Structure 1
Amino acid sequence: MKTLNIRTQKKDEIKDITDTVEEYVQQSKNDSGMCILFVSHTTCAITTADLDPGTDLDFLNALRAIQPDLNYRHPHDPEHAPDHILSSLIGPSLVIPYTNRRLLLGIWQRIVLVELDGPRQRTVQISCL
């Protein structure tokens, strides 16, 4: 297992981690298998996305647009309750198959960390099975 430490710079941000994950898969002892990623936080998430210019901002804007304007009851900080909800909708984990030590991503797919409460130091666990 490998731990990635990722520093985000903005409140809302998309960080492309595909190249780092691919490097880990290339060092795997198995030619084929599943690459499992898990982000151990409740205000960021992990998914795949198309990263043509501007699509990261489109994705973040769409997330904020679906966020309801409610009176949140989060006891610690109601201001970031929506961040918890949005990160849960996206999810904390991702499983990607690989063969010949190459991720089987679509041509435009990139693996991204979705920061919703930055800037922060984030941790992603990677394992190949």
Structure 2
Amino acid sequence: MRTFTVSTRKKDQVIDITDTIEGYLQQEQNAQGLCSIFVAHTTCCLTTADLDPGTDLDLLDALRNILPDLNYRHPHDPEHTPDHILSTLIGPSLVIPYQRKQLVLGTWQRVILIELDGPRQRTLHLSTF
């Protein structure tokens, strides 16, 4: 398993981590298999997306508008609750096949970390099998 960190700079941010993951795949013995990526936090998440200009901001705007305005009961900071909920809905992990030491992704597909409570330093774990 490999562990790496990603530093975020904003409260809400989309960060493309595709090249970082593929850099680690270049160091793997197996040229093909499955790549598992896990982010060890509850206020950020992982998914894939098209990153044409502005789509990152469209995604963040859409996510923030999904949840209703409720009186949240989170004990340490109710304002922080939507960050946890959005992270849970999207999820902390991905499993992506790889071939020739490159992720098997669609033409416009990129692997992204979505920061929902930054700026922070995020720890990710990558395993191949």
Q: CA RMSD in A?
A: 0.6
Aligned to 1:20: 20
The aligned amino acid for 1:80 is H
Alpha-carbon separation, structure 2, partners of 1:107 and 1:97: 15
**Residue-by-residue CA offset, 1:49-97 (whole Å, 9 max, x unaligned):** 1000000000000000111100000001101100000000000000000
SS at the partner of 1:45? strand
Moved over 2 A (4+): none
- 1:101 Cα deviation after fit: 1.1
TM-score, length basis structure 1: 0.98
Paired residues for 1:72-87 under 5 Å: 72-87=72-87
The aligned amino acid for 1:95 is V
- 1:20 Cα deviation after fit: 0.5
For the pair 1:124 / 2:90, whether they are aligned, the reply is: no
For the pair 1:104 / 2:104, whether they are aligned, the reply is: yes
Aligned to 2:91: 91
The aligned amino acid for 1:27 is Q
**Residue-by-residue CA offset, 1:24-45 (whole Å, 9 max, x unaligned):** 1121111110000000000000
Alpha-carbon separation, structure 2, partners of 1:18 and 1:10: 20
User: Matched residue pairs, number?
Assistant: 129
Alpha-carbon separation, structure 2, partners of 1:8 and 1:60: 14
For the pair 1:113 / 2:79, whether they are aligned, the reply is: no
Give the share of equivalent positions with the same residue, in percent. 67
Alpha-carbon separation, structure 1, partners of 2:5 and 2:101: 22
Aligned to 1:60: 60
TM-score, length basis structure 2: 0.98
Aligned to 1:7: 7
Structure 1 unmatched runs, 5+: none
- 1:102 Cα deviation after fit: 1.4
